[in-house]
Amino acid sequence: MFGQLAEIITNYVEVKKEDIRPESRFMEDLGFSSFDFMSMLGEVEDTFDVEIEEEKAAGIRTVQEAVDYLESL
Amino acid sequence: MNEFSSTIREILVKASEAYGPQDAIRYKAKRDKGNGKKETVVEAKTYTQLREDSERFSAAVDGLGEKGAHIAIVGDNSYPWIVSYYGTVNGGSVAVPLDANLPAEELCELIDRSDATVLVYDKAREAVAAMAREKCPKLKHWIATDPEAAGADVPEGTLLFQEVLDGQQPGYAHSPQPEDLATIMFTSGTTGKSKGVMLTHRNLAENATAQDMGFEPGMVLLSVLPIHHAYCLSMDILKGTSLGSVICINDSLLRVLKNIKLFEPNIILMVPLMIETFAKKLEETDWLPAPIIKAKVFGKQLHTICSGGAYLNPDYLKRFEKYGITILQGYGMTECAPVISSNCPNNKKDGSIGKCMPNCEVKVVDEELWVKGTSVMQGYYKMPEETAETLVDGWLRTGDLGYVDEDGFLFLTGRKKNLIITPNGENVSPEELENKIGAARLVQEVLVREKDGVIEAEIFPDLEYASKKKIKDVEGEIRKIVDDYNEKAPLYKRVVSVKLRDTEFEKNTTKKIKRF
């Protein structure tokens, strides 16, 4: 899950997959804008065939939090 | 064809007479497949249905004894939201659209400050509605829009939206006057306190219908922006209605691209932040022919993007032109209902924010743009001093610096007011964030600014306090303070960059921190 998410992340921001850590914060560390982040989660919905609640998405700060949330779905 | 209107009721009545059986609103809905699973389908309401449902809502409000009241509406963009809005304003009451993403405490503060006696809310705002029962003593009626609320543990006295409509007949006969107050919209104040912008029927209706953009009826529009914002409400909903557009509702910011492919719009109103993300999407497969990329990302039907809310780098206009998409940049503020100027398909200039709307005029005073016209607000609700600072002899002081060229096109050169306008068009008051972060004992001084498109907080820690409390990792503790603030803040108000300083900020003669 982490690896697949890291792959998707690299489609949105200029960062190397190996530099993405579980504690990396999407906005502060990886350089996502709020809309990049939402669009990326939209792609994640399709990739993993899940439905993400926008309210829960707004509370996700780090890559690990995203992984934990996706695994709970 | 453009039809000029001076009340919001005129807009809806004319549209229902001209386009009655045509789809007005399309939206996604979940339907039971019968095997325990649900499928997503697109449902629609016609212009006749929209008008009749809104008239039923007006009748219901009157039946509750709340005609003329302030009605707070908080929720995501939805058919019930739009019906509630039209029903409120066309029935002689005042709508107070609120930002659904604000924390519950802030929403309750705004509901109370707006003197709302009715609250219309969706399922995701149930906690707000519950809190409002304690914190908003003026509220008398709660209307839940979500059908899933039926049968749930709904507090006593809550009305269910569909039942409210089903209990009424269409044809409610009230004719609002152009000068009647229609809407109070809260906008960020530079001093940290939100200001309630009072807009009449004329302010909103004439702003929505004054400018003929040459768009044809039946045009498909995808509404992706937050509906409580003047830009979306005025241009997507009111102008869209006046043009007989098919207004498609985007259900989530996560699904904009997916919904573009589903609804196949001809036009979308966006903010620069979205345009920047889509530019990257278009250009990531730039070895394919442009028409194929465009069809893949946006579908074949999209021809126009209107950009507003914040300034767009003019480079994007050429980048999208390559794919057959015209970007029209405009400019405005809530206080002007909201559009002040706009580029039009046959009248545009790259780098400019367009020509002034036909129903207003612009002048430049000490490099600042001042606006006068039928869309300028009546003032800030119960804030006479702030109103007097902003409205001078009928002229609205925008706080933005700019000029008008020899062809009548407006250009922005800077900002006079201390306000951050984020790339997604949200106004953020630096002072509001400084007050919240500065409340922490470890923060002696803080300055919030925009830097490279994100919000930055520069902090001078209280080292004496740190020493007293034996705090070893001052930087770590400061970052925790900012993290705590961010946790409660909506995405667009979060501090992305934190900078520490080891000396006090330079002060001016009144001992205030100098902002550079």
CATH number of the domain encompassing residue A18: 1.10.1200.10
Q: Is B280 on the interface with A (CB under 8 A)?
A: yes
| Option in B254, B281, B423 nearest A38 (CB) | B254
Contact by Cβ (8 Å): B457, B494: no
Please give the CATH architecture assigned to the domain spanning B208-420: 3-Layer(aba) Sandwich (3.40)
Residue of A nearest to B479 (CA): A28
CATH of region B47-176, choose from 1.10.510.10, 3.40.50.1000, 3.40.50.980, 3.40.50.10900: 3.40.50.980
**Residue B251 above 70 pLDDT?**
yes
Contact by Cβ (8 Å): B234, B271: no
Compute the distance between CA of residue B278 and CA of residue B29 in angstroms, rounded to an integer.
Answer: 26
Residue of B nearest to A27 (CA): B496
**Residue B398 above 90 pLDDT?**
yes
Give the 3-state secondary structure percentages of chain A, helix then strand then coil, rounded to 5: 55, 5, 40
Contact by Cβ (8 Å): B353, B411: yes
**Which H/E stretch holds residue B513?**
none
- All residues of chain B having their beta carbon less than 8 Å from the beta carbon of residue A36 are 277
**Residue B284 above 80 pLDDT?**
no
**Residue B151 above 60 pLDDT?**
no
- End-to-end CA separation in angstroms for chain A: 12
User: Which pLDDT score is estimated for A11?
Assistant: 86
Put simply, the answer to whether B491 touches A11 (Cβ < 8 Å) is: no
Determine phi and psi for B37, rounding to 5 degrees. -105, 160
Residue of B nearest to A51 (CA): B254
User: Which pLDDT score is estimated for A68?
Assistant: 93
Compute the distance between CA of residue B412 and CA of residue B404 in angstroms, rounded to an integer.
Answer: 9
Compute the distance between CA of residue B228 and CA of residue B230 in angstroms, rounded to an integer.
Answer: 7
Q: What percent of chain B has pLDDT over 70?
A: 97
Structural tokens at position B84: 């509630």
The alpha helices in B271-330, defined as continuous H runs, are 272-283, 290-298, 315-321
Contacts of B34 (CB under 8 A, 6+ apart): none
Compute the distance between CA of residue A31 and CA of residue A14 in angstroms, rounded to an integer.
Answer: 8
CATH 3.40.50.12780, chain B: domain bounds? 208-420
The alpha helices in B144-289, defined as continuous H runs, are 161-166, 201-209, 230-231, 240-242, 256-263, 272-283
pLDDT-derived band of residue B31, with 50, 70 and 90 as boundaries?
confident
User: Which pLDDT score is estimated for B99?
Assistant: 94
Distances (CA, A) of B407 to B317, B367, B372, B414: 20, 18, 19, 21
- All residues of chain A having their beta carbon less than 8 Å from the beta carbon of residue B496 are 27-28
Put simply, the answer to whether A33 touches B252 (Cβ < 8 Å) is: no
Compute the distance between CA of residue B282 and CA of residue B99 in angstroms, rounded to an integer.
Answer: 31
- Which candidate, B481, B477, B480, B475, places its Cα nearest to that of B500? B475
- What are A12-63's pLDDT values in tens digits? 888 999 999 999 999 888 989 889 999 999 999 988 889 998 888 888 999 9
Q: Is B256 on the interface with A (CB under 8 A)?
A: yes
Q: CB atoms < 10 A from the CB of B273, how many?
A: 22
Structural tokens at position B449: 């600014």
- Mean pLDDT for the stretch of residues B169-197: 91
Put simply, the answer to whether A45 touches B255 (Cβ < 8 Å) is: yes
Residue of A nearest to B272 (CA): A35
Structural tokens at position B473: 């990792």
Determine phi and psi for B350, rounding to 5 degrees. -60, 135
State the count of interchain CB pairs (< 8 A) between A and B.
Answer: 58
CATH 3.40.50.980, chain B: domain bounds? 47-176
β-pairing, B454-461 vs B304-307, is: unpaired
Contact by Cβ (8 Å): B260, B253: no
Determine phi and psi for B200, rounding to 5 degrees. -85, 175
Contact by Cβ (8 Å): B319, B284: no
User: Which pLDDT score is estimated for B301?
Assistant: 94
User: Which pLDDT score is estimated for B147?
Assistant: 66
The B residues from 437 to 456 touching A (CB cutoff 8 Å) are 453-454
- All residues of chain B having their beta carbon less than 8 Å from the beta carbon of residue A66 are none
Compute the distance between CA of residue B178 and CA of residue B204 in angstroms, rounded to an integer.
Answer: 9
User: Interface pTM (ipTM) of the complex?
Assistant: 0.90
DSSP state at residue A25: B
Strand partners, B200: B181
**Residue B413 above 90 pLDDT?**
no
Compute the distance between CA of residue B327 and CA of residue B316 in angstroms, rounded to an integer.
Answer: 8
Fold of the CATH domain B429-500: GMP Synthetase; Chain A, domain 3 (3.30.300)
- What are B78-126's pLDDT values in tens digits? 999 999 999 999 999 999 999 998 999 999 999 999 999 999 999 889 9
Compute the distance between CA of residue B58 and CA of residue B139 in angstroms, rounded to an integer.
Answer: 18
Q: How many residues does chain B have?
A: 516
Contact by Cβ (8 Å): B48, B20: yes
Q: Which of B491, B492, B493, B494 to mutate to test the interface with A (most CBs of A within 10 A)?
A: B491
For B414-420, the CB contacts below 8 A with 24+ separation are B414/B367, B416/B367, B416/B368, B417/B190, B418/B190, B418/B515, B419/B188, B419/B190, B420/B448, B420/B449, B420/B450, B420/B455
Alpha-carbon torsion angle B182, B184, B187, B190, nearest 10: 120
| C-alpha angle B267-B270-B274 in degrees, rounded to nearest 5 | 120
Q: How many domains does chain A have?
A: 1
Put simply, the answer to whether A57 touches B254 (Cβ < 8 Å) is: yes
CATH 3.30.300.30, chain B: domain bounds? 429-500
**Residue B516 above 70 pLDDT?**
no
- All residues of chain B having their beta carbon less than 8 Å from the beta carbon of residue A33 are 273, 276-277, 423-424, 453
Alpha-carbon torsion angle A1, B297, B423, B458, nearest 10: 30
For B109-113, the CB contacts below 8 A with 24+ separation are B109/B135, B110/B72, B110/B186, B110/B194, B111/B72, B111/B74, B111/B136, B111/B139, B112/B136, B112/B137, B112/B138, B113/B196, B113/B381, B113/B382
pLDDT-derived band of residue B379, with 50, 70 and 90 as boundaries?
very high
Alpha-carbon torsion angle B150, B152, B153, B159, nearest 10: -10
User: Which pLDDT score is estimated for B148?
Assistant: 66
Compute the distance between CA of residue B236 and CA of residue B232 in angstroms, rounded to an integer.
Answer: 5
Put simply, the answer to whether B124 touches A55 (Cβ < 8 Å) is: yes
Range of the structural domain that residue A68 is part of: 2-72
Collect all residues from A whose CB is shorter than 8 A from any CB in B: 11-12, 27-28, 33-39, 41-43, 45-46, 52, 54-55, 57-59, 61
A11: distance to nearest CA of chain B, Å? 9
- What are B296-349's pLDDT values in tens digits? 888 889 999 999 988 888 889 999 999 999 999 999 999 999 999 999 999 999
pLDDT-derived band of residue B191, with 50, 70 and 90 as boundaries?
low
Compute the distance between CA of residue B371 and CA of residue B375 in angstroms, rounded to an integer.
Answer: 9
